[in-house]
Amino acid sequence: MANPAILTVDDDPAVSRAVARDMRRRYGERYRVVRASSGSEALEALREIKLRGEQTALLVADYRMPQMNGIQFLEAAMDLFPRARRVLLTAYADTDAAINAINVVDLDHYLLKPWNPPEENLYPVVDALLEAWLTAPDASTSQVRVVGHRWSAPSYKVRDFLARNLVPYRWFLADDAEGARLLSAAGVTEAAVPLVVTGEGKSLVQPSEAELAASVGLTVTPAADFYDLIVVGAGPAGLGAAVYGASEGLRTVLVERRATGGQAGQSSRIENYLGFPDGVSGSQLTERARRQALKFGAELLSAREVVALENIGSTRVVRFADGSRIAAHSVVLATGVSYRMLDVPGCADLTGRGVFYGSASTEAINCADEEVYIVGGANSAGQAAVHFARFAKRVNILIRSADLRRSMSQYLVDQIEAIENIAVHPFTEVCRGEGADHLERLWLRDAQTGDTRAVDTSWLFIFIGAEPRTDWLDGVVVRDARGFVLTGPDLLTAGQRPPGWNLPRDPFHLECSVPGVFAAGDVRADSVKRVASAVGEGAMAVSLVHRYLEAQ
């Protein structure tokens, strides 16, 4: 097969030659550099590449071009090669347009002209983008196929796991022609779904998350028995700790039970994170952080549930659900929080069949022209409402309080008020869910009057409360009454250090009641529940790990 293409398009002949020359000089042996003088000419070249079954790795387009500017070209090119990385060439006066393009075409980077010397201003950017393109799976060549029923909770669980781990897949209904053919080829019946067929043709019937992770290329087995640092949980705090730990020379392993990103990874758009003025999706932020951690040498274990933490002298041991274990000099607990279950009749039985916890982005497109209900008034609920409003006929936000301003950032409140098909229902709570094979009806109660009413819907998304899920730390580290981990000064009672503390110093700021074990992010008691603060605590925890190790 021919080398992947790098396509450049600029209507200025001198600039076009300069871009192509610099690209060929560094990448000519591994990539085929194609240049065009207009957007239409570039699209025609891409169509020919597509018809030949070849790949395009990078698109570099000038912003100011007649008939079709660079943003319009990149938007059209995404339909042909959605995986290709996208760069906009722009003059200083056009940087606002380039920033706006981040939302329109999911721009990866914009470069100011001129970029001389290319060794400093061009090649580092292109190197990173090509590396990202090479490491991302190609859906056309290594595609996972999932066969299941529309309202099957196990089928939803498989799809959600793949989506949150950024594994591309195709979804087939078991009673469709292609789904039936796959079931027949695997020798199983509809009753056995979900069926997962890997890109290599391996069939998995009702796989566990660990089996699924191993079969789609995620790492599930540690490369060593002992590390400098074990990070438990791959949300923003855990990813931050992994990036800083690995970049500063610590042999670091990051362990995640379900999917990198945690709750933040499910967000459709985070708009108040520093450095992203037009917002960034949780999956984009997560993927960049994951690649960054791997770049520095961190090891990432997926679908591994940690069930115990043990202290053996100066060694900290982490035990997995399958009985295996790894050990380290230090541990960072970054397990975040989980949404609290909605404890009302009917909803538990319908989980994954119309009742979902978190944004469940895999379901958004299925909500087209339907009524969607969201329970919760914090930022995660608001971000989900804005996202679902793009698809649903109407999005209904149910809150117990009088309005959203008590618990939601103002920028989200303003957005929600400006979207016509979002309705906020104050003093309203769900009291029952009903349905046969899936959710069909909700009963809502007015908290002021006690009146109830029924609404027909197949979609309920729940964002309530925050539970740390730290039962596995019972008897090991000190927690508060709600299960959040106490650290630093919060461990001192009347100036006394926590029981069992065997060092002549007080615990460091993020250190738990066990020396060398630190907590970062939402799992820590009284932490600020924001992505930026979680990342900061992850980085801070690593600096404290260094102080701890230096004193040993």
CA distance linking residue 520 with residue 100, whole number of Å: 33
Structure tokens at 230: 């074990």
- Going residue by residue through the chain (552 aa), what tens digit of pLDDT does each one get? 579 999 999 998 988 999 999 999 999 999 999 999 999 999 999 988 886 768 899 999 988 888 888 888 988 888 788 889 998 888 765 566 656 666 566 778 878 877 888 898 889 999 989 988 987 755 444 578 899 998 999 999 999 999 888 888 889 999 998 888 888 888 889 989 999 998 777 899 999 999 999 999 899 999 999 999 999 999 999 999 999 999 999 999 999 998 898 888 888 778 888 888 877 888 888 888 999 999 999 999 999 999 999 999 999 999 999 999 999 999 999 999 998 899 999 999 999 999 999 877 778 888 989 999 999 999 999 999 999 998 999 999 999 999 999 889 999 999 999 999 999 999 999 999 999 999 999 999 999 999 999 999 999 999 997 799 999 999 999 999 999 999 999 999 867 899 889 899 999 999 999 999 999 999 999 998 889 999 999 999 999 999 999 988
Q: What is the number of other CB atoms lying within 10 angstroms of the CB of residue 193?
A: 23
CA distance linking residue 333 with residue 511, whole number of Å: 10
| Residues 164, 123 contacting (CB under 8 angstroms) | no
What is the DSSP-derived secondary structure letter of residue 352?
T
Domain membership flag for residue 220: no
What is the DSSP-derived secondary structure letter of residue 354?
T
Question: In the prediction, which pLDDT does 273 show?
Answer: 86
Question: In the prediction, which pLDDT does 92 show?
Answer: 60
End-to-end C-alpha distance for the chain, whole angstroms:
55
Among 27, 37, 38, smallest CA distance to 5 is for 27
| Residues 263, 310 contacting (CB under 8 angstroms) | no
Among 462, 208, 189, 468, smallest CA distance to 352 is for 462
CATH number of the domain enclosing 154: 3.40.30.10
Domain membership flag for residue 343: no
CA distance linking residue 32 with residue 52, whole number of Å: 14
For residues 327 and 358, membership in a common domain is answered with no
**C-alpha pair distances (Å), 367 with each of 362, 387, 388:** 10, 11, 8
Question: In the prediction, which pLDDT does 97 show?
Answer: 63
Structure tokens at 146: 């999932």
For residues 477 and 508, membership in a common domain is answered with yes
CA distance linking residue 492 with residue 106, whole number of Å: 48
Question: In the prediction, which pLDDT does 138 show?
Answer: 55
| Residues 495, 389 contacting (CB under 8 angstroms) | no
Question: In the prediction, which pLDDT does 80 show?
Answer: 80
Question: In the prediction, which pLDDT does 394 show?
Answer: 97
For residues 334 and 276, membership in a common domain is answered with yes
For residues 458 and 471, membership in a common domain is answered with no
Q: Which amino acid is at 225?
A: D
Q: What is the number of other CB atoms lying within 10 angstroms of the CB of residue 65?
A: 22
Structure tokens at 110: 């914009």
CA distance linking residue 487 with residue 527, whole number of Å: 10
Q: Which of 74, 109, 135 is the last residue of a domain?
A: 135
CA distance linking residue 434 with residue 73, whole number of Å: 48
Structure tokens at 46: 């891409």
For residues 117 and 233, membership in a common domain is answered with no
Among 22, 32, 101, 34, smallest CA distance to 64 is for 101
Tell me the residue range of the domain where 352 lies: 348-462
| DSSP secondary structure of 425-478 | ETTEEEEEEE-SSS--EEEEEETTT--EEEEE-S-EEE----B---GGGTTTS-
Q: How many CA atoms lie within 13 A of 185 on its CB side?
A: 16
With 0.85 as the threshold, say if the pTM is over it. Answer: no
For residues 128 and 188, membership in a common domain is answered with no
For tokens 């400098």, name the residue: 228
Domain membership flag for residue 221: no
Q: Label the pairing between strands 441-446 and 428-434.
A: antiparallel
What is the DSSP-derived secondary structure letter of residue 200?
T
**How far does Cα 90 stand from its chain's mean position?**
30
| Residues 327, 315 contacting (CB under 8 angstroms) | yes
Question: In the prediction, which pLDDT does 432 show?
Answer: 97
Structure tokens at 209: 């998350």
Q: Which residues pair with 548 in a beta bridge?
A: none
| Residues 332, 341 contacting (CB under 8 angstroms) | no
Domain membership flag for residue 515: yes
For residues 288 and 436, membership in a common domain is answered with no
For residues 388 and 491, membership in a common domain is answered with no
For residues 394 and 253, membership in a common domain is answered with no
| For residue 114, cis peptide bond before it (omega within 30 degrees of 0) | yes
CA distance linking residue 247 with residue 297, whole number of Å: 8
Domain membership flag for residue 127: yes
453-482 exposure pattern, b = at least 16 Cβ within 10 A, e = fewer: eeeebbbbbbbbebebebeebeebbbbeee
Question: In the prediction, which pLDDT does 141 show?
Answer: 45
Q: Which of 182, 215, 248 is the last residue of a domain?
A: 215
**C-alpha pair distances (Å), 293 with each of 77, 126, 236, 462:** 30, 19, 12, 31
| Residues 89, 9 contacting (CB under 8 angstroms) | no
For tokens 């995660």, name the residue: 380
Burial of 232 (0-12, 13-18, 19+ CB in 10 A): buried
CATH number of the domain enclosing 95: 3.40.50.2300
Total domain count for the chain? 4
CATH number of the domain enclosing 286: 3.50.50.60
Q: Which of 87, 114, 135 is the last residue of a domain?
A: 135
For residues 367 and 252, membership in a common domain is answered with no
For residues 385 and 430, membership in a common domain is answered with yes
CA dihedral of 397, 399, 405, 406, whole degrees rounded to 10: -150
For residues 445 and 353, membership in a common domain is answered with yes
